[in-house]
A and B are shown apart, each in its own frame.
Chain A
Amino acid sequence: MSASGHSEWSLISNAHAAPAQRTSPIGIHCMLSVSDLSCVRGDQTLFSGVNFDLNAGQWLHLEGGNGSGKTSLLRIVSGFTPPAQGQVRWRGQPLAQTAEAFHAELLYLGHALALKEELSALENLQADAAIAGRSFERSQAVSALQRLGLRGRTRLPVRVLSQGQKRRVALARLFLQNAPLWVLDEPFVALDAQAQDLVAQAISEHVSQGGMALLTSHQPLLLRGLGASLRLGA
């Protein structure tokens, strides 16, 4: 709100309540609650005083210029980096105490696609699911890849795919799990218009079914459902 990089935002307009008492209108804890978060890189403060709540059926779009701390915020929320100040709560519990349960309910797609060049799209998805401790039928993976326009390329090593196609393989994970919280770092990068529509549609669908999505993007979003934008930095 101020020019010094402070941002405050809430979908349910009680961002100023004490974090411990912060509840949604129907009385249960907010699913994801971020209070007074700040991030320091070296001697530079990327952002401070960031507040937001995210509840079932809502999405939040993080905006901001390059280097404004969008990715850092996503990494703090995902539990990779401890915040310089402030707290992230999942179902009312501080993240540090509920890390394992939280990670079971989180799908994180970062800048790095976590794909192995030597493995095929299908093998990549299978390895990824095994690492995450999830499982799916082979036919589900094939149909997810087909849905993303990779018909006939499911057995090729990912090395030979184009940048956008690799991105599509990574995004096929969206269709292969049922984690309630999606944290997506620039999901639309390198995608053509058709694929962008598909991904936006998948996110809208997820949110309309009671999921949550926290994402960054430089493109104007075409998401349906309840959601808002939060601008980081001045």
Chain B
Amino acid sequence: MNSFFAVVQRDLRLAMRRKSEVLTALFFFVVVASLFPLGIGPEPGVLRKIAPGILWVGALLASLLSLGRLFSADFQDGTLEQMALSSTPLPVLVGAKILAHWLLSGLPLALLAPLLAVQFDLDGDAMEVLVLTLLVGTPLLSLIGAVGAALTLGVRGGEVLLSLLVLPLYIPALVFGAGAVEAQVSGIGYAAHVSILMAMLVMAAFFGPWMCAAALRVSLE
């Protein structure tokens, strides 16, 4: 467990020393989400309707931006070798890296979303549901994305391959995440959508780190 928190702490510290990497993904999210109201025009009805989908797709792409670097830096400088040789199981260390990735890319997006939702004229209720789905959904994105990042590690042109591999896998998260907000707006309630999202998160949290570790060991051969 000590190793787990040490890896989280190390990754957060590294991110603080090169803030630009974290901030680029965040600004990307802000810019993408702001372009749509500008392009579509001030129609509150339309904007309200598309807001959950736009914000979710924005979060998805922003999380994808930082995925390429999740393992590649550690792979290149040899840290990943040391992780594979640790007496702490590799899935635990990989889980720590995924948690750090979420803290740096997913959590800020979820917290920033209500501000951006104002541009789409979302009401308070819908905004709360949006933040909730992003809080549950972004760790899911990090977990699924990490498996993709581990599989494409060291592959030439891996970044493009990574998005082709991971984006289709993000679809269920997108459907239920954006769907929850729409369901809330239309009065059905968001509970079912969020439950499914949580179930997917639990599954991914359980299997994701193991799959990552297996893929990383192949990359290290």
Contacts and interface: CB of A to CB of B under 8 A. Distances in A.
Interface of A: 78-82, 100, 103-104, 106, 108, 110-116, 118-119, 123, 126-128, 130-133, 135, 157
A118 B221 contact: no
A122 to B, nearest CB: 12
B7, B10, B84, B220 interface centre (most CB from chain A within 10 Å): B10
B77 A113 contact: yes
Contacts of B7: 127, 130-131
A127 B17 contact: no
Given A103-B86, A116-B14, A118-B17, A131 B81 contact: no
B24 interface: no
7 contacts: A81-B221, A100-B89, A103-B87, A108-B82, A116-B10, A131-B3, A131-B10
Contacts of A78: 85
Contact of B77 (A81, A116, A131, A135): A116
A132 B18 contact: no
Given A80-B220, A118-B18, A119-B14, A131 B78 contact: no
The 5 closest A-B pairs by CB, nearest first: A112-B78, A130-B6, A118-B17, A114-B78, A133-B87
B221 A80 contact: yes
B14, B82, B84, B85 interface centre (most CB from chain A within 10 Å): B85
Interface string B1-18: 011001100100110011
Interface of B is mostly: helix
A78 B17 CA distance: 32
Interface residues of B, number: 25
A132 B86 contact: yes
A113 B78 CA distance: 6
A114 B79 contact: yes
A159 B6 CA distance: 21
A79 B85 CA distance: 8
B195 interface: no
Contacts of B77: 112-116
Contact of A104 (B14, B79, B87, B220): B87
B3 to A, nearest CB: 5
Contacts of B221: 80-82
A130 B10 contact: yes
Interface in B55-112: 76-79, 81-89, 93
Nearest to B96: A131
Given A131-B7, A133-B87, A112 B14 contact: no
Contacts of A119: 10, 13-14, 17
Nearest to B217: A80
Given A108-B85, A126-B6, A130-B3, 17 more contacts: A78-B85, A80-B84, A80-B220, A100-B89, A103-B86, A106-B85, A110-B78, A112-B81, A118-B18, A123-B13, A127-B6, A127-B10, A128-B79, A128-B82, A132-B85, A133-B86, A157-B17
